[in-house]
Amino acid sequence: MTKITGPCDLLITHVHIATMDPSGGTGSYGEIPDGAVAIDQGVIQWLGALTELPISLQPKTLIHGQGQWLMPGLIDCHTHLIYGGNRATEFEQRLEGKSYSDIAREGGGIMSTVNATRRCSLDELIEQSRPRLEALLSEGVTTLEIKSGYGLNLETELKILRAARELEQQYPVRIEKTFLGAHALPPEFAGQPDRYIEVVCEDMLPVIAEEGLATAVDVFCETIGFNLSQTEKVFQRAQSLGLGIKLHGEQLSDSQGTQLATAYDALSVDHLEYLSEEGVKALENSATVATLLPGAFYFLKESQLPPVEKLRASGIPMALATDLNPGTSPFTSLRLMMNMACTLFGLTPSEALAGVTRHSARALGLHHHTGMIKTGYAADLTLWPVNSPAALAACLTGEHPSLTLYNGEVR
Ligand code: NIG
Ligand code: FE
C-alpha cells in the first residue's frame, strides 16, 4: 500500500467502488466494497478499503458516500453533438419505407443537416447544441468527443470545431475534437470526390491542425461516403500532421475500412455491423478499439449485428458511444446505449460499463489519464444512488449521479 501523509483536497468515504481497473479490486467491475478515495490537485492520490485508510491523511473536505457506488466519470467517445436543425421528416420517410442510403442519394441525410448547419451563426450553433451537452453531463459524462462533419467547407467545419472549443470553455468537461471533413461529398464537388478529398487534405486539415482545433480525423468509409483510397489519403495527411485517426467503418457494408485503419494505428473504428473475419483479425493484431454504436443500429432498424462474440473472444476492447447525431442516433443518453448494447448486442452490464469508461478512454487515447479509478488518474468520478453497478445498464428509471467530480472539482 502506498504510504501517504499530510493534507489532501478531498476524501470520499463509505462508498463501494467500481474501479473498472482490471488490475484493481475484484470481479468484473474491479470492485472495492466499503472503500474510500483520496483526491489531491485533481488527481486520485489513494484508494482502498476504508479499514486501510492511512490515518495520516488530513483531508480539507470530507464526503460521506452513504454506501453509494462510486464509478469513473462516463466517457462518450463518438458524438456529432454540434449541428443545426433536426431530421424528424426523414424519420417519417424511413418509417414509410425509404432507406437511409436512398435519402442520402437524393440529397437529404447528412446534406440536409449540412445545409441547416451552414445557415447557423457560431452563436446559434452553440445555443442549439447546449441542451444536448447538458443532457450528457446530467448523466455523469466527464469526457466526450465531438466531431465536425456537418460543414463540408472550411468555414463551417471551423465554425463547428470552434463551437466545440467554446463549449469546453463554458462547461467543466473534457472535449476531444475530431475533424470529419470527409463525412459526405458536398454538392459543390458532385462527381469529383477525389478533388474534394484533395481540398480536405490540403486546404482544410492544415488550417485545423494549425489552430489546434482537432486532435484526430475521422472518415466515413462507405458506399455513400468515401472509398478506401480516398480514406487512405486523409489518413496519410492526418498522420503527417500528428493527428490521431478514427473511422466510421463497416456500418452499411463491408468496405474493409477496418483493415486500412488498423494499418494506420487508428485509435478506433466505429459502427462495425458488417465487420468481416479479416476485420476482426486486423483489430486483434492492433491496439485499435472497436466502438459499438447501438443507437444507430436501433434507429436505422438495422438487422445485421456487429460480431460481438468474435470481438470478445479475440480480446478486442469494445467501447460504446451515443453517436449523437440528428440522422441515425438522436440520443443523448450513454446509459440508454449501455442498455441497448446489452439487449441488442449481448454485452454484459460490466462490458457495457467498461465500454463507456476504460475502453472509451482508450478510443480517445486518454487511457493513461481517465476512464478508471486508479492512483495517478484524473479524479473524474460519479457517485450513484444504486445498489449495484449493473443498475447503470439495467434501470433507466431516472437515477442521476448524486455527485460528479471532474478533475477533482465537484460539478
Ligand atoms: O455515425 N455514418 C455516418 N455518420 C453518422 C450519421 C450522420 C447523419 O446521418 O447525419 C453516423 O451514423
Ligand atoms: Fe457517427
SS3 content of the chain, % helix, strand, coil (to 5): 35, 25, 40
Average pLDDT over residues 353-377: 98
Report the half-sphere exposure of 10 (CA within 13 A, side-chain side): 19
Amino acid type, 19? T
* 247 CA from centroid of ligand 2 (Å): 9
Global pTM?
A: 0.98
Mean pLDDT, residues 46-52: 97
User: What residue type is 144 in one-letter code?
Assistant: L
The tens digit of pLDDT for each residue in 6-23 reads: 789 999 999 999 999 999
**How does pLDDT run across 284-323, given as a tens digit for each residue?**
999 999 999 999 999 999 999 999 999 999 999 999 999 9
User: What amino acid is encoded at 143 in this protein?
Assistant: T
Q: Which ligand is nearest to the CA of 226?
A: 1
pLDDT at 4: 60
3 state DSSP class of 200? helix
The residue whose CB lies within 8 Å of the most ligand 1 atoms, and thus the one to mutate among 148, 183, 268, is: 183
Pocket-forming residues, ligand 1, beta carbon under 6 Å: 109-110, 113, 220, 248, 251, 296, 323, 325-328
Burial (CB count within 10 angstroms: exposed 0-12, middle 13-18, buried 19+), residue 361 = buried
The residue to which cell 449481448 is assigned: 346
Q: How far is the CA of 120 from the centre of ligand 1 (A)?
A: 20
Q: How far is CA 393 from CA 332, 347, 368, 405, in A?
A: 15, 10, 25, 21
Instruction: Give me the CATH topology for the region 6-72+372-410.
Output: Urease, subunit C; domain 1 (2.30.40)
Residue identifier of the C-alpha nearest atom 9 of ligand 1: 327
Record: fold of 74-363: TIM Barrel (3.20.20)
pLDDT interval class at 5 (50, 70, 90): low
Give the pLDDT confidence score for residue 7 in this predicted structure.
Answer: 87
Q: Which of 128, 148, 130, 2 is nearest to 80 (CA)?
A: 148
Ligand 1 centroid – CA 329 distance (Å) = 8
- Contact at 8 Å (CB) between 239 and 200? no
- Best mutation site among 147, 220, 300 for ligand 1 pocket (most ligand atoms within 8 Å of CB): 220
CA of 134 to the centre of ligand 1 (A): 21
Q: What count of residues does the chain have?
A: 411
Residue spans in the chain of domains classed CATH 3.20.20.140: 74-363
**Grid cell of 267 as nine digits:** 485509435
3-state secondary structure of 137: helix
Q: Considering every ligand atom, which ligand is closest to the CA of 147?
A: 2
Task: Find the ligand nearest to 328 CA.
Answer: 1
Cell of 96: 414509410
Beta bridge partners of 216: 178, 244
Ligand in nearest proximity to the CA of 326 = 1
Please, where in the chain does CATH 2.30.40.10 lie?
A: 6-72+372-410
Contact indicator for 85, 369 with CB cutoff of 8 Å: no
Residue reference for cell 489552430: 211
Q: Give the residue whose CA is nearest to atom 3 of ligand 1.
A: 220
State the distance from the centre of ligand 1 to the C-alpha of 153, rounded, in angstroms: 17
Q: How far is the CA of 110 from the centre of ligand 1 (A)?
A: 7
Q: pLDDT tens digits, residue range 174-218?
A: 999 999 999 999 999 999 999 999 999 999 999 999 999 999 999
Facing residues of 71 across strands? 382
Mean residue pLDDT across the chain: 97
Closest approach atom of ligand 1 to CA 271: 1
Assign 1 a pLDDT band (cuts: 50, 70, 90).
very low
Residues facing residue 177 across a β-bridge: 146
Residue-wise pLDDT tens digits, 317-349:
999 999 999 999 999 999 999 999 999 999 999
* Residue 101 CA: distances (Å) to CA of 4, 79, 148, 272: 59, 20, 21, 17
Q: What residue type is assigned to position 249 of the chain? A: G
Query: Which of 94, 325, 329 has the most ligand 1 atoms within 8 A of CB, as the residue to mutate?
Result: 325
Are 121 and 162 a contacting pair, CB within 8 Å? no
Q: Considering only the C-alpha atoms of the chain, give the largest distance between any 2 of them, rounded to a whole number of Å.
A: 71
Q: How far is the CA of 38 from the centre of ligand 1 (A)?
A: 41
CA dihedral 230, 262, 376, 74 (to 10 degrees): 70
Give strand pairing partners of 218: 246
